[in-house]
Chain A
Amino acid sequence: MRILLAPLLAALAATPAAAQLRVDINSGIAQPLPIAVPAFPAANDAATDAGTPAELGARIAAVIAADLKSSGLFRPLDPAAFTTVVGVADTVRPQFDAWRTVAAQALVTGTVSANPDGGITLACYGYDVFAGQELARQGFVTTAAGWRRAAHKCADLVYSRLTGESGYFDSRIVYVSETGARTKRIKRLAVMDQDGANHRFLTAGQALVLTPRFAPNQQTITYMSFEANRPRVWLYTLGSGRQAAIGEFAGMSFAPRFSPDGTTLVFSMSVGGNTDVYKLNLASRALTRLTTQPGIDTSPSFSPDGSRIVFESDRGGSQQLYVMAADGSGQNRVSFGEGRSASPVWSPRGDLIAFTRIGGGRFGIGVMRPDGSGERLLTNGYQDEGATWSPNGRVILFQRTMRGGRTDLRSVDVSGQNERQVPTPLDGSDPAWSPLLP
């Protein structure tokens, strides 16, 4: 099912001139910005399959508030803390004085209306309360069932206008859902919205599955499966549910990722005890070996422009990060920190590489520039690994395994702040964040 979110540029005029209010996301957030997100009023009262516009208006406001809060940059006011009732007219002419008295610095408001075709239109407005100025406005038309995505789009609009970065709330996560004893763990692919909503299992659990990752178009997932006791790389098509192995190879294939243009898979293959990095052109099925060193070369990840690949290798004696050109030439070690560095993943912004740092009996998530400089550790756990980037490169999702126990998904801001647990129905591992949805 595809959801259309057509911007209503005609109905809602262009964004006015720049205002002063801005959230600085680079200098550690001591004080999240107080922001009011009152229930969105209904512009009409026709019912939809998902509820009345008034009901949807309350739910949409709650989703927007939760999105903004999860970033750690905003502090949505408790609805109980204000008595201001927002009418339709207030969405274009807000009662700024009332919002100033409850110390809201920004306001997100808008209207919800039911459309004759059963869909809805969400009009979304962001305001700078103290300046009394509009910051952003956009309209979204969607199916009634797509109301959450419209809410995420609205949250992304406000986040983007206030931080200067693109948003990331209208996105999804694919991960491995885990249950059962560790000696016979059942693992299933599952997808959910970035905020945990719309959770859905993709595989039934008969075959062990690992390391799912989205294609750039979000319609395909590549992963590793032990189906029929033949561990290799597979593709899952979300629309049809079709699952297919990418081919017959000499040895185990694993650790797959798409190239940024979606035409190529890069992965590892083990032949005769030697693990190297390969790439496969999905159209021509041409297989190219990119590394030839004896040793373990694995966890390849493309730079966002597709020109380079970061991977890990133990060719120097222990796991370290290396960068090479996309054709395999010019392989250079970039990690020189303490301990081992593993499982690199290139930020979609291109500015950083996230990785797993192993040392001192601990596993943590770190970031470094692609040349290895500016290394910073963001987390420190018994076993943190499996980093994946938010579409805007501001947040890292990873898995944390507790000693001898459970494993769950966590997120942390690239600043190292705002570490949060991401709730999943069962244990979770191997998260991968989708690009921003269209």
Chain B
Amino acid sequence: MKGLLMSKRLILPLLIAATVSACATKTKDLPPQPVSEAAPPPATPTAPADSGGMAAPEPVGNSNVPGSYADFVAQSGSDKILFEYDSYELDEEDRAVLGKQAEWLARYPALKVTIEGHADERGTREYNLALGDRRATAAKNFLAAQGVATSRLSVISYGKERPAVEGADEAALAQNRRAVTVIAGAR
């Protein structure tokens, strides 16, 4: 019980900081994502061990908490990259975002990363699971090539099971064909 309370105390200010900054920061041409969309549902409360690399955050003026999730998104431009239909190729824009993600990750070597691969609904269930794995792996391989240790990188595919947005028009489908870089312990 005590441990849970302590970690809550530690995380709450971070969450508030993330919320404020995410609202203030408009990410390029994409519509701003609500914070609850950008952050995956926490499977388990953040383990205290994970916060070791980012202990004692010191808010600096108006900017994001260094090492926080909001800081990651702000510095990288986005936590996600988008794909063409049935493709797992990284275009120039994707590589630019991933490159900045890799730079940021180099500054916080204790943080681990899970890359979530997703597909739109216009594919069969099992193929889309494999396609999501391809997309997440493409992003992982790029980050690794930029120097992020593979021991820090893991992938998970959700296939078409967890779209980012509802709807079946091309704009919605395009938002759902994505790979999202999730920082463990920095929400």
Contact stretch, chosen from B11-19, B96-104, B157-165: B157-165
B60 contacts partner chain A, Cβ-Cβ < 8 Å: no
B149 contacts partner chain A, Cβ-Cβ < 8 Å: no
A342 CB → nearest B CB, Å: 4
Chain A residues within an 8 Å CB radius of B121: 383, 401
- The contact of B127 among A228, A298, A403, A404, by CB within 8 Å, is A298
Known: A231-B156, A383-B122, A404-B168. Is A185-B161 also a contact (CB below 8 A)? yes
B30 CB → nearest A CB, Å: 16
CB of B138 within 8 A of CB of A273, answer: yes
CB of B163 within 8 A of CB of A182, answer: yes
B93 contacts partner chain A, Cβ-Cβ < 8 Å: no
> Per-residue CB proximity of A273-315 to B under 8 Å, as 1/0?
1010000000000000000000010110000000000001010
Known: A183-B166, A404-B168. Is A299-B126 also a contact (CB below 8 A)? yes
CB of A343 within 8 A of CB of B124, answer: yes
CB of A298 within 8 A of CB of B133, answer: no
CB of A296 within 8 A of CB of B127, answer: yes
Least CB separation from A405: chain B residue: B168
Known: A208-B161, A296-B130, A298-B126. Is A272-B137 also a contact (CB below 8 A)? yes
- The contact of A403 among B125, B137, B164, B168, by CB within 8 Å, is B168
B175 CB → nearest A CB, Å: 11
Known: A252-B156, A404-B168. Is A270-B130 also a contact (CB below 8 A)? yes
How far is A314 from B127 in the complex, measured between Cα atoms in Å? 9
CB of B43 within 8 A of CB of A229, answer: yes
A242 contacts partner chain B, Cβ-Cβ < 8 Å: no
- The contact of B166 among A211, A268, A404, by CB within 8 Å, is A404
CB of B157 within 8 A of CB of A385, answer: no
CB of B156 within 8 A of CB of A298, answer: no
A341 CB → nearest B CB, Å: 10
Chain B residues within an 8 Å CB radius of A314: 127
Chain A: interface residue count, which band? Answer: 35 or more
B92 CB → nearest A CB, Å: 21
Known: A183-B37, A273-B134, A404-B168. Is A231-B157 also a contact (CB below 8 A)? yes
A398 CB → nearest B CB, Å: 11
Chain B residues within an 8 Å CB radius of A343: 124-127
CB of A183 within 8 A of CB of B163, answer: yes
Chain B residues within an 8 Å CB radius of A181: 166
Residue picked from B124, B137, B163, B164, most chain A C-beta under 10 Å: B124
Least CB separation from B122: chain A residue: A383
B59 contacts partner chain A, Cβ-Cβ < 8 Å: no
B3 contacts partner chain A, Cβ-Cβ < 8 Å: no
Chain A residues within an 8 Å CB radius of B131: 296
A412 contacts partner chain B, Cβ-Cβ < 8 Å: no
Chain B count of residues within 8 A CB distance of the other chain: 30
Least CB separation from B114: chain A residue: A229
CB of A268 within 8 A of CB of B43, answer: no
Within 8 A of B (CB), among A182-232: 182-185, 187, 208, 210-211, 226, 228-229, 231
How far is A226 from B157 in the complex, measured between Cα atoms in Å? 10
CB of B124 within 8 A of CB of A319, answer: yes
Chain B residues within an 8 Å CB radius of A187: 161
A255 contacts partner chain B, Cβ-Cβ < 8 Å: yes
Within 8 A of B (CB), among A116-133: none
> Per-residue CB proximity of A255-273 to B under 8 Å, as 1/0?
1000000000000101011
Residue picked from B126, B130, B167, most chain A C-beta under 10 Å: B126
> Per-residue CB proximity of A120-152 to B under 8 Å, as 1/0?
000000000000000000000000000000000
CB of B125 within 8 A of CB of A386, answer: yes
B81 contacts partner chain A, Cβ-Cβ < 8 Å: no
CB of B133 within 8 A of CB of A273, answer: yes
Chain A residues within an 8 Å CB radius of B129: 210, 231, 252, 254-255, 268, 270, 298
Chain B residues within an 8 Å CB radius of A386: 125
Within 8 A of B (CB), among A340-394: 342-343, 356, 358, 363, 383, 385-386
A sample of 25 inter-chain contacts (CB < 8 A) reads A181-B166, A182-B163, A183-B162, A183-B165, A184-B162, A208-B158, A210-B129, A210-B161, A211-B126, A231-B129, A231-B156, A252-B156, A273-B88, A273-B133, A273-B141, A296-B131, A299-B126, A299-B127, A342-B126, A343-B127, A356-B124, A383-B122, A401-B121, A403-B168, A404-B168
- 6 closest Cβ contacts across the A-B interface? A273-B137, A404-B168, A275-B130, A270-B133, A296-B130, A255-B126
- Beyond the given pairs A252-B156, A404-B166, 19 more chain A to chain B contacts, judged by CB atoms under 8 angstroms and listed by A's residue number, are A182-B163, A184-B162, A185-B161, A185-B162, A211-B126, A226-B158, A228-B43, A254-B126, A254-B129, A270-B130, A270-B157, A273-B141, A296-B127, A296-B130, A298-B127, A319-B124, A342-B124, A343-B124, A404-B168
